[in-house]
Amino acid sequence: FFFHLKLESKTKGKLQRQICQVVLNHFEKQYTKELGDAWTGVRHVLTHPLCWQYAVLLNRFSWSLELENTLCLKGYHPLFQETLPYLPGSLKCYIGRIPGRFPAQKHQPGKLKDYYLLNAASLLPVLALEVKDGEEVLDVCAAPGGKSVAILQCAYPGNFHCNEYDGLRSRWLRQTLESFIPTPLINSVTVSELDGRQIGDLNPELYDKILVDAPCSNDRSWLFSTDIHQATLRLMQRKELSSLQLQLLRSAVKALRPGGSLVYSTCTLSKAENSDVINLILNSCSNILPVDISDMGKAVSQEFTLLAGTQQHELLVLPEKGKAWGPMYVAKLKK
């Protein structure tokens, strides 16, 4: 018993030392103002990784009944119910109430993985996109590839363009796709390393559906920055991110066909990178309209804690103890 207490104390101390105080102080000031009382609960989850939960997205191209049975025996249950406006039967994701991570599978060339571990909230942008078979689809900032894999669990696009500007992350993206997608289907996936800000000019009005999962100030990882100088530099450059996000969105609008849909997402709580960016696009692009996703929000409110008072075309998932998903901001637009 005493050994257990000592070990627990040591673990807590280790985790506490890992928190970057410079980042926490910055978040404390900003999010107390933006989230009010909700920040206290969010702060507790973000600063205590032992609270974090991981979902298990099954790979329909390597389906295993044994795996589903194992997950059920371990107390996992299906994440999504049939009340969702868009929920393909082929998309299967399991979550457990107890914090912790299901064992990961290693990449083996030529062999498909059975599942992908992810933050369950990262599936919401994919569901909001509502991809159908045969559509032309673009994932502008696709690495590491979780959302691209999830899109292919939902439908068979006519052409699926996965783009990642960063060379190292692009290799990571390719490996992810090779690990989950069989050879015939991979032939319909184009992987590029283009500057996302130029795609609209290169491929004007080409796509039916576009996902802009934008580079952002990743609240979870930034809190555990080990290099204080790097963390300080990140915080100084944080204001520039909204400009990049706006440019990526403008490019995506150009690349979208009239009648097409666009989903914008980030994994930050920051208003400047979320609703402010969307409002700028809506106010400056007369051919873009907001799309109501409140029905999706209501349908997932059992499993996710959503910030109250958002507009009908957006939602923000707040991490909460027992529902430690997010942060994840999702907004949907139509051309």
Q: Would strands 189-192 and 159-163 be described as parallel, antiparallel, or unpaired?
A: parallel
In the chain, how many domains are there? 1
Distances (CA, A) of 112 to 8, 93, 146, 181: 37, 17, 14, 7
Q: Is 89 exposed, middle or buried (0-12, 13-18, 19+ CB in 10 A)?
A: exposed
What does the alpha-carbon distance between residue 279 and residue 243 come to, in Å, rounded to a whole number? 13
Distance of CA 177 to the CA centre of its chain: 16
Paired tokens of 72:
């059920």
Assess if residue 11 is contained within a domain.
no
Provide the residue count of the chain: 335
At 330 the three-state DSSP class reads: strand
CA–CA distances in Å: residue 227 to residues 18, 19, 154: 10, 11, 39
The residue written with tokens 């991110």 in the block is 241
Which residue ranges make up the annotated binding site for S-adenosyl-L-methionine? 141-147, 164, 195, 213
48 CB-near residues (< 8 Å, 6+ apart): 15
Is there a contact between 173 and 142 (Cβ–Cβ < 8 Å)?
yes
In a domain, 112, yes or no: yes
CATH number, domain containing residue 27: 3.40.50.150
Distance (Å, whole) CA 333 – CA 206: 16
Question: What single DSSP character describes residue 116?
Answer: E
Per-residue model confidence (pLDDT) at position 7? 38
Residue-number span of the structural domain to which 81 is assigned: 21-334
Q: Please indicate, yes or no, whether the overall pTM of this predicted structure exceeds 0.95.
A: no
- Spatial distance between the Cα atoms of 186 and 316, rounded to a whole number of angstroms: 32
207-213 and 256-266 beta bridge pairing:
parallel
Residue-by-residue pLDDT tens, the chain, 335 positions = 333 333 344 344 444 458 999 999 999 999 999 999 999 999 999 999 999 999 999 999 998 899 999 999 999 999 997 789 999 999 999 999 888 889 999 988 889 999 999 999 999 999 999 999 999 999 999 999 999 999 999 999 999 999 999 999 999 999 999 999 999 899 889 999 999 999 999 999 999 999 999 999 999 999 998 889 999 999 999 989 999 999 999 999 999 999 999 999 999 999 999 999 999 999 999 999 999 999 999 999 999 999 999 999 999 999 999 999 999 999 999 99
Distance CA 268, CA 157 (A): 29
Residue 185 lies in a domain: yes
Asked, for residue 5, whether it belongs to a domain, the answer is no
Structure tokens at 263: 């989903």
Closest CA to 328 of 319, 317, 312, 313: 317
Closest CA to 98 of 64, 50, 62: 50
C-alpha angle with apex 90: 113 to 97, nearest 5 degrees? 75
Q: Please state, in angstroms and rounded to a whole number, the distance separating the CA atoms of residues 4 and 24.
A: 29
Is 12 within a domain? no
Q: Residue ranges of the alpha helices (H) in 155-293?
A: 167-180, 183-186, 199-202, 219-222, 228-255, 275-284
Scanning the structure block, which residue is given the tokens 């009648």?
259
Evaluate whether residue 15 is within a structural domain: no
Cα radius of gyration (the chain): 20
Residues catalogued as catalytic: 267
